[in-house]
Amino acid sequence: MFRLTTSLLYGSMAAVRAHGTKDAHAKAVAGGVPGVLGVRREDKNKWERRAPLAPRHVQELVKKGIKVIVQPSTRRVFTDNEYKQAGAILQEDLTECATIAAVKEVPIELLLPGRTWLFFSHTIKAQACGMPLLDAVLQKKVRLVDYECITESGRRGDKRLVAFGNFAGYAGAIDFLRGLGERFLALGYSTPFLHIGSAFMYPSLDEAKRAVSLAGDAIREHGLPPALCPFVAVFTGRGNVTQGALDIFKLLPFEFIDPGDLPKLHEQGVGSADNCRKLYLSIATSEHMVRHKDGRPFDKRDYYAQPDQYEPIFQDAVLPYSTVVINGMYWDARYPRLFTHEDIHRNVMQGHDRLLGVCDITCDADGSVPTRQFTSIEHPFFVYNALSDATSCDLDDPGILFHAVDHLPSELPREASEHFGNCLLEFLPALVAAQAPETPNSGDTASLPVPVRGAVVAEGGALTREYEYIAQLRAVNERSDVEETLMRQDQHRPVGPHGVQAPPACANLEITGHLFDTRFINKVCDLVESHRGRVQIMNIDVGGGVKDSSRALMVVMTHTQDSLQTTLKTIMDAAQEEPNISVRRAGETTSGAGQGDGSQLVESKDSKKILVLGSGFVVGPLIEYLLRDGNNVITVASIMKKEMEALSVQYGHRCQSQYLDVLSTDAEMEELRDQMVKESDVIVSLVPATMHVGVAQLAVKHGKHMVTASYVSEDMEKLHEQAKQAGVVIINEVGLDPGIDHMSAMKMVEEAKAEGSEIIKFSSLCGGLPAPEAAGSSPIGYKFSWSPRGVLTAAKNAAKWSQEGQLKEIPGSELLTCVRPLALNNALALDVLPNRDSISFARLYGLSDAPTFFRGTLRYRGFCERMYAASQLGLLELGPLPRLAGKQSKKEWMAALLETPEDNLRQAIDERIAGGFGAKVGASFIEWLGLLSNEKMPSVNIENPIDVMTSLLQREEMLYRKGERDMVAMYHELVVRLANGSYERRTATLIEYADPKGATAMARTVGVTAAIAARLVLEDASKFQAGVQRPLSKEWYDPMLQLLEDEGIRLDERAEPASAEGAAAL
């Protein structure tokens, strides 16, 4: 056995030596030089040829003035010369670098102290394998940035921004096809799969895909052996891993088939000539994997909220008809397994021996599929014999082929590195700019981009606030290992048949709340240990920091059922005495028993009760935010029963629903409304604005605080003194607009005043719009997620503002003509129109003396022209207009609206809008609405033109389609005269997009903002003035803007010199 030297493996100049020791590094000097980035070579194993940055990424950084030092490597997929040509310096020594990027964990002895290091650390769940490295990070005062934690909002669990994408799926599918070719040959069948190699055997992903495509051509022409057909490949889930694997299989001739149709396909028997020339691809999702124990219809949100109430069906409904299973879905111990060894054995014994292979890309040990062992790139397969329960590495042996390689992206190092670098590149300039801090909380971490800030695990010799939980979780894990050993050695454990010790009695507990700052998780371990039991943590979702709510799923094991019940009772009793903790027991399992049917919630004695009125789009993000605190319990009250029950199912046992009519004068309903307000700690009113005052009166009556996202009405303002005397905070206007606009604007205004600057111009613009890629199908560049009526009525609101010292007013009939263009950035060409009464807000902002004060609404170009044409034709009139009654066709109705004969309708339209704003596009818009056709009128009150217009706009092109997203845009502009007499323009821009699979941008910005206000009131209402409030003072906007930024919602502020000429012009 021999060892190669470092210079042999990685350098390009040293001669080959068969023996020797690694080169010694120069003595590391703490700190490094800001502006210098190091790229470490990978050495975890011989297959790790990836890099965090490709040469082209290095070239971009060098162009920005960043010095890049790359360690030489003869293994890396990119040559040293490629990096050198990109402008990097090739050298072994990285001591000059203040920031160093790697992919995998760094050997402790090579971890330079006092640097910012970026890599996958495997420490955030207190994994035992990562703790020595974490100790070294702390001892060496390294600032550790873990890629796994770089997310959109900076909070763990949110969408990851730096990852290897679909590459595990690509490589796993390619390797698996190669294995199937060899396995089928062992079974006596030659197939085109035999000509596919492992992914690492190809110089590029394109070449690997070409090999799969050639196999597909052969299948299309000659078919597969009939004994293997119909060939059914079942994929689990719809995530990135599965999509990557699907992309490879779709290079073969295929036909999609629903899992429910597999039995019918199976009835056709062994392959026909037709189905031998294609593969059947089937995607199994949750509804194909489980069913409710009570026989209820499958409900995805209910399943995720209460998985213990569901039982597995995949093993009977899908597995018997599958040729291969490709497993790429997320799984943890809360959910039933897809299938087990026992299921495979049973199917074989019953003659359902069709399963030939399992590709477990997720590589969860004892996870959703029965993977007995992980494999390696050089030895990627094993065979599992269900009859003997044995495994073999010989593919000629009988059984099922298993593939389970846990570092698949390294098989496609070039493309994976290119993708990874694309994700990482934008964050590097900020990280490279400064040194790692020498002491905790003393560096520039607070100024890093939000996604990266939340990924800083440690700095200055200490864990950061968000990761302090690791120390406690580590202690729990270490104790669990000791407890397991002691439990196995315990002589008191019952003995089962044949003298074998009986398996322990077990129960699953879901514990939510402040697990770490209260040390409750440690207390649970103490209690279990006192009963000679054991705790195993199966899954843990950690909050934003030690003081934020976390959730742990753990299995408690004791010797007997009696001792288990005693142990659980002590845990439940402890939870009742502990604030901020809730415990839910999800079923119970014992030796030889199935799952129980009970679930129990234990609320702490200090639980905060939140009453949410309304169940619309904004409620979901609000609930999600507030339930992060395990001390909060929410009741959603609404007349929309289906919506509120769906919310209750989605968000689980701490979110209840109650039918409630806020306006009802029924005595029982009034009593219920009164009682619900009385029993709550805070009321969040998200019902229509006209309903808030009645709710506020009840809040004042019972001394309860209240939050709304709506404007303060005159009637609400009249409650100020009553609320003030009752010590009640009624905070209004905490949404997007109003809300974020107020707070961000006031911050800019107060900062300017504090420095002695004079504000010459203030402009605030906001709009909720379709994202650019979704706007094209609508002629007005607008889409609706609820009734268009509100948008139509707003298009006729009068407006007034101040401009260069003059009061400007425009009647509602001409609002849409008063537009000006705005290029918010290179991609967004928008129009601005005035938004109601700006003058009243100038008083609220303390800017009555500012020469220009303007608030506007943003729309895409073309909206105002077309809507103005509609307005000119009377389509926005409220009605009723009796002459429209009884009209059958749209053309007849339109002619009656314009009081013209039908045969003169086109001319009448042209004359009405001729020469005016929107004349060029107005007629075509009316035709698009169908008002020149003989189609039937919609089923609305046709005497009211605005109701007809509302109905006509509710067509497919105007609604958000699946996968389309919305956007909110906000833009503030201040022009100030500084104390030295010079002028400066200051802007703040917010552009927020929806997650197509989550909440809309509008719902998120409104819901999260209202939730933050509710949180602050719950935490300490005494910090705020009692009465009817807006978030215009520093006591409100400082904490709220910071908490919004923590959620990734922030305005980008900039400043540039301005000239005195035209400083106040719009």
Residue 707 near residue 1040, CB atoms below 8 Å: no
Angle, alpha carbons 212-213-215 (nearest 5°): 65
Distance CA 1065, CA 761 (A): 8
CB atoms within 10 A of CB 280: 21
Contacts of 1019 (CB under 8 A, 6+ apart): none
Distance CA 1034, CA 1037 (A): 5
SS3 859: strand
Distance CA 535, CA 556 (A): 5
Fill in the DSSP letter of residue 495. B
Contacts of 111 (CB under 8 A, 6+ apart): 117, 133, 136, 137, 140, 142
Among all chains, which residue has been given the structure tokens 């949750």? 286
CB atoms within 10 A of CB 112: 23
Helices (H), ranges, 379-468: 413-424, 428-432, 450-453
Written as one letter, the residue type at 516 is F
Angle, alpha carbons 956-961-962 (nearest 5°): 150
Distance CA 55, CA 79 (A): 9
**What is the pairing mode between strands 462-463 and 456-459?**
antiparallel
Residue 363 near residue 374, CB atoms below 8 Å: yes
Helices (H), ranges, 506-608: 520-530, 561-577
CA atoms within 13 A on the CB side of 1005: 26
> Over the range 856-868, which residues count as b (16 or more CB within 10 Å of their CB) and which as e?
bbbbbebbbbbbb
Tokens of 1065: 């012009």
Q: What's the sign of the alpha-carbon dihedral 49, 51, 55, 56?
A: positive
Nearest of 785, 702, 763, 839 to residue 1006 by alpha carbon: 785
Among all chains, which residue has been given the structure tokens 């864990």? 463
Contacts of 641 (CB under 8 A, 6+ apart): 657, 659
Among all chains, which residue has been given the structure tokens 């054991």? 534
Tokens of 910: 């042209």
Distance CA 1009, CA 145 (A): 28
Angle, alpha carbons 188-189-194 (nearest 5°): 120
| DSSP string of 297-360, one letter each residue | PP-HHHHHH-GGGEEE-HHHHTGGG-SEEEE-----TTS--S--HHHHHHHHHTT-----EEEE
Distance CA 639, CA 676 (A): 15
135 part of the active site = no
Q: Which of 308, 360, 737, 831 is catalytic?
A: 737
Q: How far apart are the first and last CA of the chain?
A: 78
SS3 491: coil
Distance CA 37, CA 116 (A): 10
- Give the total residue count for the chain: 1066
Angle, alpha carbons 254-259-263 (nearest 5°): 100
Q: Which residues are catalytic?
A: 737
